Homo-oligomer: A and B are copies of this chain.
């Protein structure tokens, strides 16, 4: 057990005062004479003193750390979301403990097991696994983003249903006769499915078939391209696609072009998410944009309320917006 080079006690010794006094100087608390303050500061400088954060955390039972549990950060949506969460949390004095689950339930559980042991003051989650009971058992403040976790955990989400309607409506307005949708496999109780529900309801209302191709979040690009190729083979008549996220929309466009389709002439495509990186790399994509930065902010607001003890406000739903690119 190596000891930290210089501790508060050493500073006290050098300054010729008690540990309490040094602690007071450190935290600007209580009455101190200027002379003492100076003495202590000087001793600190001399010794290059750095207060030990862990000891403080142990005493205060508070780490000022917030855990982020998401599938991965290597994705336009989550990258922007986590960056913004970090930003918002930083402003409020928190630091971020990152936990990418890779959609692996074991890994998500492993993170939780650790984090719930006093390692963090709160959790913001948006991973894709279900049935992780630990979320329910804990006292820790938790807020979820775009994912339903458990009854008493508030969810911050975009208005996915409205977004699904917008996207479908746009394709209908464009005159598309054969619209196909992509989404996750059924079974994940994600707000994402609201996009699908909106699509299906609109198609049914018009007595058109609702066809959804299911694509796993963590398939490789090649696997996804294969699915989209199958889509075009099985449905050569398709003239409009509403993809449940921009990455898929991009892959669909690539596959379609390879097959000789012209966009938007031959085929119209609408994506979903509208994250920074997609807007930069693929501004021509028409998409339903989620207010990612605002979602981050609201999640942090909610979390802070919970940490402060408010057994608070329920879930939040934020409006989305159709961005005109040119692919629809």
Binding site for B on A (CB under 8 A): 1-5, 48, 50-55, 57-61, 63, 65, 68, 72-76, 79-80, 82-84, 86-87, 90, 95-100, 102, 107, 111, 114, 116-119, 137, 139, 221, 246-247, 250-251, 254, 276-283
Contact = CB atoms under 8 A, between A and B. Distances in A.
Contacts of A74: 79-80, 83-84, 276-277
Given A74-B79, A79-B73, A221-B280, A86 B100 contact: yes
Given A50-B116, A50-B118, 17 more contacts: A1-B59, A1-B61, A51-B117, A52-B117, A53-B118, A55-B58, A74-B276, A75-B79, A75-B277, A86-B100, A87-B100, A87-B102, A97-B97, A97-B98, A98-B98, A250-B281, A251-B280
Nearest to A71: B83
Nearest to A65: B97
Given A2-B61, A117-B50, A280 B250 contact: yes
A107 B90 contact: yes
21 contacts: A1-B60, A50-B117, A51-B117, A52-B58, A53-B117, A54-B58, A65-B97, A68-B98, A72-B83, A73-B83, A74-B84, A74-B276, A75-B277, A95-B99, A95-B114, A97-B98, A221-B280, A246-B281, A250-B280, A251-B280, A277-B281
